[in-house]
Structure 1
Amino acid sequence: MVGMLAAMPPPAPHFAQPDDARFRVRGDACPGALRLHRADDGALARVRVPGGVLSWEQADGLRELAGRLGDGELHLTSRGNVQLRGLDAGCGSELASRMSEMGLLPSASHERVRNVVASPLSGLDGRGARDVRPWLVALDALVCASEAAAGLSGRFLFALDDGRGDMDALGADVTLRARGDGAAELRIGALESVALIPGDEAPRAALLAATVFLSVADASGSGAWRVAELPAGAGPLLDEVVRELAAAGLPVSRATVPVPAGTPPALGVVAGPGGTDALSVGLPLGRADAVRWRALTDLAREHGAGELRLTPWRGVVVPGVRRERAPGALDALEAAGLVTADRSPWTGTGACVGRPGCVKSLADVRGDAASALPDAPPVDALPVHWSGCERRCGHPRGDWVDVVAGPDGYRVSVVRDGARPENPVRVAADPAALATAVAAARKPRP
């Protein structure tokens, strides 16, 4: 079978999620740095990196571990975390020891629940109402010190938004968004009703909201890992959080604030204050080999502020590069194989690990995605995510093109705001046919 087939008739396929309670047959087995997951290409370790912030020494240490113990690549996740793949199942003790030495395991009992995303350009480009780095440091410390927080699922997500709306759009379980008046909005899930709290108390309020979630989830008997799974929805949880905030002595009120659309940071040079810029780049399909990763760490060490900021869009921001060095440094990163401009063929393209790494996958989705890349997508093209099975691991939010492998090829459709895929079309596993079908689906509505 070659080329595109006719549109498939209804019913549409079940739109599964990797953390959907209907798929659970055991407790939370979300991998971490101490609990390795067995995959077809070896063991997998997921290293939580709150806010995506790594010192260059930590980043270089991860490169060394990936090369010595794994497949030699760093794999970024949609939460700005890092995965090491292809590990020997017996390397857990050495891996944990090195992670601890590197400062990446401040609490063994909390290492899988340190899931925090933060605006990657916060404090770097003059935008935003507040630099959220103090929030990040405080929240991580509070989570690691809380006995109750250790009971959160490895999928529960905090988001810290500096006011620009990038993190608020991600649908985290608990979101803090800075306001220009010094207050903070605390959003539960995707509710438009938010709690307004003093900005300086925001990390404490976020932890309280998470612990209230645990109580509500336990009382419901649902086994919910995330806010979206609560039988009564997020509304009653917000009501209880507001009551608990008031009981804790925090000034709190309510407001209606629509969830923003949000956009990832533009790729390239990001102008900043004080004669320094940040460089924002993407990793093709979220993967970096030793050459690409070393290019980033060397830049951070020699010409930047000594850190990398990993983004939920599988990109990296290097802050603090002297302005006169920024253009040449960006060219060097492009030469190393990183994506440095928004009009790259890789722009907006993501994929799960696929074959041979995942036993559930029906195809080598990363190879097929690379073969079907366009010359460059239009500026307003929808993002596209390639999945090896119905679980769609790592897919984006909002509107996107859903490319799912099946026994006889792929199914291409458009997802609007998380709803069921629209008008799925079957396409053979042929690069030209796939490229044509995906390009047609990526065109936004007129």
Structure 2
Amino acid sequence: MLAAMPDSAPSPVSAGGASPRAGGDACPGTLRLHRADDGALARVRIPGGVLDPGRADALLVAAERFGDGELHLTSRGNVQLRGLGTECGGGLAALLTDAGLLPSAAHERARNIVASPLAGLDGSPSLAGWLAELDRLVCGSPAAAALSGRFLFALDAGGGDVDALGADVTLIAEGPDALLRIGAEDEVFRLPSSDAAPRAALRAAEAFLRAAHSTAATASQDSGASRGLAPQHSAAWRVKDLPDDVRTELVRSIGATAGPAVHRPRPRPRKAAAPAPGPVGATAAVSVDVPLGRLTPAQWRLLTETARRYGGELRLTPWRGIVVPGPFPRQEAAEALRALSGAGLITTADSPWTGVGACIGHPGCAKSLADVRAEAGAAVAAEAGAAVGRPGRLPVYWSGCERRCGHPHGEWIDVVATPDGHRISHVRGERREPPTTVRNDDPARLAAAVADARA
């Protein structure tokens, strides 16, 4: 069986570097399921991570009717359904369409949009207008249907949280203005008006597709083939995959029509800029993290009912957390957080689960060499009451193989299962420190080595 495809491209810190994009884009969606060892997998795109309670209810119905009942958050604020039956595709698509979660069959994998989850809640501007308009434009563009399932838009409220994720096209709010960033370039373009920002983002994505198609056609001619390849069959699924000269020309051509250039390096924070669990802006919202991004039906129902009672919205974050906007009366915010904590969600920064992540691992993935979720849990249990949850500790991500599906960005501790044990590395952006290797027969030493690395 095929393993679930990663939520992001293969890691640049993997041995041998990034893998070439030799075949077609195989990212899962809701209309094209992927098989894993625990059944079929569907990835439901949730632009900006924003769900109203009705759509949240529909996702739970889908998980319970067709899958294993759980909902899995991804590193792009999307939802994965696992353990699906192989014949459920039509029923799943109909359910999601009726709920408004599948507005365009042709674009369902192109709706990859992350947004600052605290926008409008912590003094930053709201991004609701940008989000709705960009999603509408993407779904209305025939060309955008060719975007790979890995191409990413980001809407940043000005604090740099999702700007740091290295999306392919990023819009940044700056007072009344809007800035446009292409890929990881340190140069941004000041757009003529904030209202023009979503259309500028779409035009940038369409320009990328033309560049990718041209690159693929050139490569095909150079190899002696008689036909050009479609963009999704080229090496360029994302802006960073373009050859350097093509990427430079793409940025130059977009800038020529977007607006004046401004030097503004992309944020490279030491740690992910995830919202801290707990109350937000006194009682404007509450924020929780989800252990290993995995939500039981009871947890999902509690979150949905909390949203229904207060702000009427859930915001799934790219760091596998959830923000429930308020406003909450002060006492009720504390009560909501106590209930969410009692359900097993992370509501304080000193939780031993804070910063701990893992891929699906064995037995869900055939490529995984270990049950990394169980190992991560055992390491947390071994260190509970010690220093695991102290502020300042680095995030840690457990991977069952070299693909590192869904790994974080920035600075983190990389734990990878190998045939003989686990390799522990300190990752800083594109760089990795020399690793430490711990054998499989020494779980206590593994937990201690991970704790030392995080400190």
Q: CA separation of 1:64/1:289 partners in 2, compared to 1, >3 Å: closer, same or farther? A: same
The AA in structure 2 aligned to 1:118 is: A
Q: Give the corresponding residue for 2:434.
A: 423
Q: Give the corresponding residue for 1:15.
A: 13
Q: Which moved more, 1:79-88 or 1:429-438?
A: 429-438
Q: C-alpha displacement at 1:19, in angstroms?
A: 11
Q: C-alpha displacement at 1:15, in angstroms?
A: 2.9
How many residue pairs match? The answer is 416
Contact persistence 1:15–1:390 (CA under 8 A): no
Contact persistence 2:12–2:430 (CA under 8 A): no
1:184 aligns with 2:181: no
d(CA) in 2 for partners of 1:172 and 1:45?
22
> Under a length normalisation based on structure 1, what TM-score does the superposition of the two structures give?
0.90
Contact persistence 1:354–1:365 (CA under 8 A): yes
Q: Which moved more, 1:280-289 or 1:257-266?
A: 257-266
Contact persistence 1:161–1:176 (CA under 8 A): yes
Among candidates 314, 317, 320, match of residue 311 of structure 1: 317
Q: Give the corresponding residue for 2:301.
A: 294
Contact persistence 2:22–2:235 (CA under 8 A): no
d(CA) in 1 for partners of 2:450 and 2:181?
34
The AA in structure 1 aligned to 2:280 is: V
d(CA) in 2 for partners of 1:385 and 1:300?
29
d(CA) in 2 for partners of 1:426 and 1:214?
42
Among candidates 275, 279, 291, match of residue 269 of structure 1: 279
Q: C-alpha displacement at 1:16, in angstroms?
A: 3.2
List runs of 5+ in structure 2 lacking aligned partners.
1-10, 217-233
Q: Give the corresponding residue for 1:155.
A: 150
Aligned residue runs from structure 1 range 127-146, under 5 A: 128=124, 130-146=125-141
Q: CA separation of 1:14/1:207 partners in 2, compared to 1, >3 Å: closer, same or farther? A: closer
The AA in structure 1 aligned to 2:249 is: P
Contact persistence 1:17–1:393 (CA under 8 A): no
The AA in structure 1 aligned to 2:72 is: H
Q: Deviations over 1:40-89 (max 9, x none)?
A: 10000000000000111111111121112111100000000000000000
Among candidates 422, 446, 454, match of residue 410 of structure 1: 422
Q: Post-superposition, which runs of at least 4 consecutive aligned residues in structure 1 deviate over 4 A?
A: 17-21
d(CA) in 1 for partners of 2:285 and 2:12?
42
Q: Secondary structure in 2 aligned to 1:312?
A: coil
d(CA) in 1 for partners of 2:145 and 2:251?
21
1:323 aligns with 2:329: yes
Q: Secondary structure in 1 aligned to 2:170?
A: strand
> Under a length normalisation based on structure 2, what TM-score does the superposition of the two structures give?
0.89
Q: CA separation of 1:295/1:318 partners in 2, compared to 1, >3 Å: closer, same or farther? A: same
Among candidates 251, 258, 262, match of residue 255 of structure 1: 262
d(CA) in 2 for partners of 1:305 and 1:312?
20
Contact persistence 1:18–1:392 (CA under 8 A): no
d(CA) in 1 for partners of 2:297 and 2:443?
28
Q: C-alpha displacement at 1:417, in angstroms?
A: 1.2
Q: Give the corresponding residue for 1:103.
A: 100
d(CA) in 1 for partners of 2:19 and 2:13?
13
d(CA) in 1 for partners of 2:394 and 2:361?
22
Please report the RMSD computed on the Cα atoms of aligned residues, expressed in angstroms. Answer: 1.7
d(CA) in 1 for partners of 2:86 and 2:23?
21
1:237 aligns with 2:250: yes
d(CA) in 2 for partners of 1:32 and 1:75?
14
Contact persistence 1:268–1:330 (CA under 8 A): yes
Contact persistence 1:158–1:175 (CA under 8 A): yes
Contact persistence 1:310–1:316 (CA under 8 A): yes
Among candidates 44, 47, 52, match of residue 47 of structure 1: 44
Contact persistence 1:285–1:314 (CA under 8 A): yes
d(CA) in 2 for partners of 1:102 and 1:434?
45
Q: Give the corresponding residue for 1:371.
A: 378
d(CA) in 1 for partners of 2:36 and 2:67?
12
Q: Give the corresponding residue for 1:393.
A: 405
Q: CA separation of 1:330/1:18 partners in 2, compared to 1, >3 Å: closer, same or farther? A: farther
Q: Deviations over 1:345-368 (max 9, x none)?
A: 111111110011111100000000
Q: Which moved more, 1:423-432 or 1:283-292?
A: 423-432
d(CA) in 1 for partners of 2:19 and 2:443?
35
Q: Deviations over 1:213-248 (max 9, x none)?
A: 011111122530001111126432210112244xxx
1:38 aligns with 2:35: yes
Q: Give the corresponding residue for 2:240.
A: 228
Q: Secondary structure in 2 aligned to 1:212?
A: helix
State the identity as a percent. 58
Among candidates 61, 64, 72, match of residue 61 of structure 2: 64
d(CA) in 1 for partners of 2:120 and 2:77?
18
Q: Give the corresponding residue for 1:279.
A: 286
Among candidates 200, 207, 210, match of residue 195 of structure 2: 200
Q: Give the corresponding residue for 1:351.
A: 358
List runs of 5+ in structure 1 lacking aligned partners.
1-12, 246-251
Among candidates 99, 124, 135, match of residue 121 of structure 2: 124
Q: Give the corresponding residue for 2:82.
A: 85
Contact persistence 2:394–2:411 (CA under 8 A): yes
Q: CA separation of 1:212/1:346 partners in 2, compared to 1, >3 Å: closer, same or farther? A: same
Q: Give the corresponding residue for 1:8.
A: none
Q: Deviations over 1:143-163 (max 9, x none)?
A: 000001001000000000010
Q: Which moved more, 1:111-120 or 1:234-243?
A: 234-243
d(CA) in 2 for partners of 1:102 and 1:319?
21
d(CA) in 2 for partners of 1:315 and 1:95?
25
